[in-house]
Chain A
Amino acid sequence: MLIRIFPWTLLLVLALFPLVAPLFDFTYYVGFVRHLLIVMIAATSLNFILGYGGMAALGHAGFIGVGAYTVVALVDAGFTSAWGAWATALIVSAAFAAAIGAVSLRTQGVYFLMLTLAFSQMLYYLAVSLRTYGGDDGYGLHTPLTLGLGLGDAQGRILYWLVLAIAALLFAFLNRVAVSRFGYALRGVRENETRMAALGYPVYWIKFTAFTVAGAVAGLAGALLACHNRFVSPSLMHWTESATLLVIVVIGGLGRRWGAPLGAAVWLTLAEVLKLYTDYWRWPLGLLLILIVFFAPKGMAALLDNRGKSP
């Protein structure tokens, strides 16, 4: 029962948060939660390929960058519709993910990890060199994108609720995929590729499809991040950003429904809280990582989930 109402309760609490926050002088945290929700989207997409598909990609931030720079390119060209920009970001990053996946997925293990890293580094340097969009210094989106439909601009609480809606829909969608025929096939590939091929599954295309979907969703997260920050720079795509996403997914719980959201919430909240008290906020996080690898190798979602459910 608790399990059934929990997601809806959480959604309700999150939806009400911007209305309640001003009463407690928490307005700053509306932005924080908005950011958190966007990171959750990206982490959930990585969990889809890493947790369910067993593909250890160390270049996921590259797709976030592609999505963000798609928004920058559109804004720079005078385009202002948020919906159009987000949809375009989704499509463009899907195309990038398809191209990168087509090459990288021919390799396995560490080589796959290194190839995905290499491609995201290429995207990083591409962004650094795009002086039209500010190069190293980044690009400020001075006016917010417009939503139309009487919703005004994509900023503030409206943007918060939209991000929440998109995050919830994508979360539901990817979890639905996990129990679809495709989801079962994807987990089979994670467990044993050779056997899957011998059973008649087109292993490569299953991985390719999952990789492309995950890249597209990460790209959408990047587009939302661009609107959230109103600023885009190549540092979005730095390899440590990809590593951080990996960390979030692993500490949350690989291949677990609540793994990515939990990982993102814990990681970002801890960082935020630690930053309040000290300049040295990285080492406790580092220590946490080592402790989790030692003592909770299946992630925090597994600790909470005593039924040991690992579909």
Chain B
Amino acid sequence: MDAIFLIEQLLNGLGYGLMLFLLAAGLTLVFGIMDTMNLAHGSLYMVGAYIAAQVHERSGSFVGAVFMAMAATVVIAFVLEMLVVRRIYSRGHLAQVIATFGIILIADDLVKAIWGPAPMLASTPAALAGPVQLLAELPYPAYRLAMLAVGLLVALGLYLLVNHTRIGMLVRAGASNRAMAECMGVRVDGVFSFIFALGAALAALAGAMMGPISAVQIGMGEAILIPALVVIVIGGIGSIRGAFVAALLVGLVDTAGRAFLPPALRAVLPPALAADLGPALAGIAMYVLMAAVLILKPAGLFPARA
């Protein structure tokens, strides 16, 4: 285990963390402002990945494919919000879990009907296919660097949007005290729709970006939804800043766990036991992190509500 490997894994962890942030940002806003638990957020991520892969394959333009995916997903989210989600804002979390689980089932079958049951191959854009020589002995895939850049740019954009625009002010007001925001005459419905669409766009962006380095397949939404939920709970529900910090933490802990725990265990434990324990511990690292955070800070790292 040398420094190069370490840096490479850290970068991978950051990249994964930033993609988690894209997902978690929408999830935490919908949760914080509308008090709505939306399990179908992962489905928007999946839809984004499929559309991007398809458009990229047809058109050859990755950037175009990403934007197409985001635009199409926003339209889908808009319809979804109007038909289903809007009617469950005021319901309990349990009803929201059930209804959005229903959306997952429908989305999975729709994707299967359109693209078939087999995983889809999403190719890396040709221009970013090669490695970039970060250091003399550290070649790093250009595509993963691009992911980092996109993630950071979006984070910056969200920061500016939330802290320096009028809609951002409404968003913050809504997250910290919804009743107060309504009293101040905020047209909450419009803010809700905007937030939901924004969340969908970010989820689609994450899906489109993750496509080439993971499998584009049915169930990918359900698989990444749980880490995203873990992120928003660690960060404090409703807090963008919290989601950012927690996403990077979870990304690093998860990646580091997978990269470093097995070799570390092999050094101190009998090989058979280490081989069993390594992946298990790596898999549960983020959940342990969440449990620890919740025990110490029951409302997450950056509670949005005082």
Contact = CB atoms under 8 A, between A and B. Distances in A.
Contacts of B237: 110
A287 B233 contact: no
Interface string B202-227: 00000000000000000000100010
A280 B284 CA distance: 33
A250 B110 CA distance: 25
B146 interface: no
B129 interface: no
Interface residues of B, number: 48
Interface stretch (B95-103, B135-143, B189-197): B95-103
Contacts of A279: 112, 117
Contacts of A232: none
Nearest to B107: A286
B284 A126 contact: yes
A280 B112 CA distance: 8
A231 interface: no
A280 B278 contact: no
B294 A129 contact: no
A299 B101 CA distance: 16
Interface string A262-291: 000000000000000001111101111110
Contacts of A290: 84, 99, 102-103
A270 B93 CA distance: 25
A191 B259 CA distance: 47
B87 interface: yes
B290 A103 contact: no
A121 B88 CA distance: 27
Interface string B273-305: 001111110011001101100110011000000
Given A106-B295, A114-B230, A280 B109 contact: yes
A289 B93 contact: no
Contact of A286 (B102, B233, B275): B102
Given A114-B229, A240-B222, A287-B106, A131 B275 contact: yes
B94 interface: yes
Given A130-B276, A243-B101, A125 B233 contact: no
A85 interface: no
A122 B298 contact: no
Contacts of A285: 102, 105
B103 A129 contact: no
Contacts, number: 133
B102 A293 contact: yes
A247 B97 CA distance: 9
Interface residues of A, number: 48
B37 interface: yes
B280 A250 contact: no
A131 B88 contact: no
A118 B101 contact: no
Given A280-B113, A293-B91, A107 B298 contact: yes
A110 B109 contact: no
A83 interface: no
Given A107-B298, A111-B294, A282-B106, A247 B278 contact: no
A126 B281 CA distance: 8
B99 A103 contact: no
A76 B21 CA distance: 43
B99 A293 contact: yes
Contacts of B95: 250, 293, 297
A45 B295 CA distance: 27
A289 B101 contact: yes
13 contacts: A109-B93, A115-B290, A129-B279, A239-B226, A246-B97, A246-B101, A250-B94, A283-B105, A283-B109, A286-B102, A286-B104, A290-B103, A293-B99
Given A118-B290, A118-B291, A286-B105, 20 more contacts: A56-B93, A113-B97, A115-B291, A118-B287, A121-B226, A122-B287, A126-B284, A128-B283, A129-B276, A130-B280, A240-B222, A246-B98, A246-B101, A247-B101, A250-B94, A280-B113, A282-B109, A287-B106, A290-B99, A294-B99
- The 9 A-B pairs with the shortest beta carbon distances in the complex, nearest first, are A286-B105, A125-B283, A289-B102, A129-B280, A283-B109, A286-B106, A118-B287, A286-B102, A293-B99
